[in-house]
Each structure stands twice: as structure tokens, then as C-alpha cells.
């Protein structure tokens, strides 16, 4: 459980207009070694990695590696890890990609239910294991409200099953993200130049047009979330609400 107990409504009022670095510094002071940052090494991941490590050098950075990332994602991860001196903690499913496919088939081709199963195996279970092993009390990550309709409902500080989930750049529009990357000379994911705006696994990521939401090219249009940041189903939403999210 979250220690010390937090007044989430008061915190969201306090940090409503604050700079992301103020919220990150508060989280560091409040949670110490229990604070972690997650990353996907996606299109704009460099922003959060740079922002957070400037305030909390050496923070544990969790990467849930599905084993199905683009080859460019792995080289990009290596580049950012070296450049920003990341304390990277890589977690993966206990099922290798080959074994999972042999036992369960190509889950990403089996509709929404197949994608849900895929995400539970390759993303959610490894995340939960990472949180247990690293004794996580608070989790910094980079969703933004303008990415999907579901993310509009997020708050800057939330209760996520007893963990304080914190979104420092939640209110940033895309132009602010791009301006930050330019200001600090941060490299883009190599696939951005090919029209990929939101980048995940190779089998469920497509390029998008300029008029579409950032995550419109994810999961073959069946969904826009994998369950790491917002519930995938009504049942999961009910579960989150029952624990005070």
C-alpha cells in the first residue's frame, strides 16, 4: 500500500499548473528508492527519460520488453541508455516469443480477446513482477491526454492498486513534446521518419495520417490501450474503481 497515505484530490489540485519537474521532485522526496520510471522506448520516450533523469539521476527505469519490438526499437533503446546513463531494468515474459506462439498461436491475429491475452502475458505480468521485485511504491510514466480519448480521464497523481501512478507531462500537447526534444537535441525513434507516431510491437503497429490520433495505428484498430495505463475492459475498470482509482 501507499506509504505515506496520500490525498489524491489535494495533490492533483496542488500540481494542476505545476511544471513536470516539480511533480517529479515531489515524488522523489516522498517515495525515495520506491520511485521508478517506466519506458517503452517509443516515438517520444526520450522526453520522459531526459526529464526524469535530470531530477532523479540513477532512478530505476523499467522496460517491459515484449520480445516483438522493431529492430529499430532495440537500437534506439541502446542509444538512449548510453546517452542518458540509464539505470535500465529489463523485464520480459517467462514465455519466450517462440514458445508463446507455439502454445497459444498468433494471439495478435485473434481479435480483441487475443490481444488482451497477449498483453496479459507479455506486458502486464512482467510489469507486476517488476513492481514486486523492485518494491515499487510510485510509478512515473508519460501518457498524455491528447493521445487517446481514454487518456483524457487520467489524473496527474492516481492510486493504481496501491501504487502512486504519476503522469508529469499529462497536459503537454504534441507540439510541446516536439519543442522539448528540439531544445535538448534528443533523438527521435528511427521509425518516426517513416510515419510511425506511436510505436509498439512490429505486428500491431502501423503508420498513421496527420489527421489521426497518435495511437490510431496500434493494435489493428481494435483498441488503443494495452492495459498498462488504463483498464482494457469494463471488468478491469470496475476493479480499478473498487480500489480507489
Contacts 24+ apart (CB under 8 A), 161-165: 161/240, 161/243, 162/1, 162/2, 162/243, 163/2, 163/131, 163/136, 163/137, 163/138, 163/139, 164/2, 164/6, 164/27, 164/30, 164/31, 164/137, 164/138, 164/139, 165/138, 165/139, 165/141
The dihedral region occupied by 135, where left means phi > 0, alpha psi between -120 and 50, and beta the remainder, is left
CA distance linking residue 77 with residue 1, whole number of Å? 32
Q: Which of 48, 121, 226, 230 is catalytic?
A: 226
Query: 130 with 136: CB under 8 angstroms?
Result: yes
Q: How far apart are CA 31 and CA 138, in angstroms?
A: 7
Q: CA dihedral defined by 150, 155, 160, 163, rounded to 10 degrees?
A: 150
188 is catalytic: no
Distance CA 115, CA 164 (A): 27
Residues annotated as catalytic are 226
Amino acid at each position: 500500500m501507499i506509504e505515506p497515505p496520500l490525498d489524491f484530490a489535494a495533490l492533483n489540485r496542488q500540481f494542476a499548473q505545476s511544471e513536470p519537474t516539480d511533480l517529479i521532485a515531489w515524488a522523489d522526496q516522498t517515495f525515495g528508492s520506491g520511485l521508478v520510471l517506466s519506458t517503452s522506448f517509443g516515438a517520444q520516450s526520450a522526453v520522459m527519460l531526459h526529464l526524469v533523469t535530470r531530477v532523479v539521476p540513477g532512478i530505476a527505469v523499467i522496460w517491459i520488453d515484449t520480445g516483438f519490438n522493431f529492430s529499430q526499437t532495440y537500437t534506439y533503446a541502446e542509444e538512449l541508455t548510453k546517452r542518458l546513463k540509464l539505470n535500465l531494468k529489463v523485464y520480459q515474459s517467462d514465455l519466450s516469443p517462440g514458445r508463446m506462439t507455439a502454445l497459444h498461436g498468433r494471439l495478435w491475429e485473434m481479435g480483441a480477446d487475443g490481444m488482451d491475452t497477449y498483453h496479459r502475458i507479455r506486458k502486464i505480468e512482467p510489469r507486476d513482477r517488476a513492481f514486486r521485485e523492485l518494491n515499487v511504491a510510485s510509478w512515473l510514466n508519460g501518457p498524455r491526454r491528447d493521445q487517446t480519448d481514454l487518456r483524457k480521464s487520467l489524473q496527474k497523481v492516481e492510486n493504481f492498486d496501491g501504487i502512486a501512478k504519476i503522469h508529469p507531462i499529462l497536459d503537454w500537447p504534441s507540439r510541446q513534446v516536439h519543442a522539448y526534444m528540439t531544445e535538448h537535441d534528443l533523438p527521435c525513434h528511427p521509425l518516426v521518419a517513416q510515419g510511425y507516431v506511436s510505436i509498439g510491437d512490429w505486428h500491431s503497429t502501423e503508420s498513421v495520417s496527420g489527421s489521426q490520433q497518435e495511437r490510431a495505428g496500434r493494435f489493428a484498430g481494435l483498441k488503443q490501450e494495452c492495459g498498462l495505463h488504463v483498464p482494457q475492459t469494463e471488468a478491469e475498470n470496475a476493479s480499478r474503481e473498487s480500489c480507489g482509482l
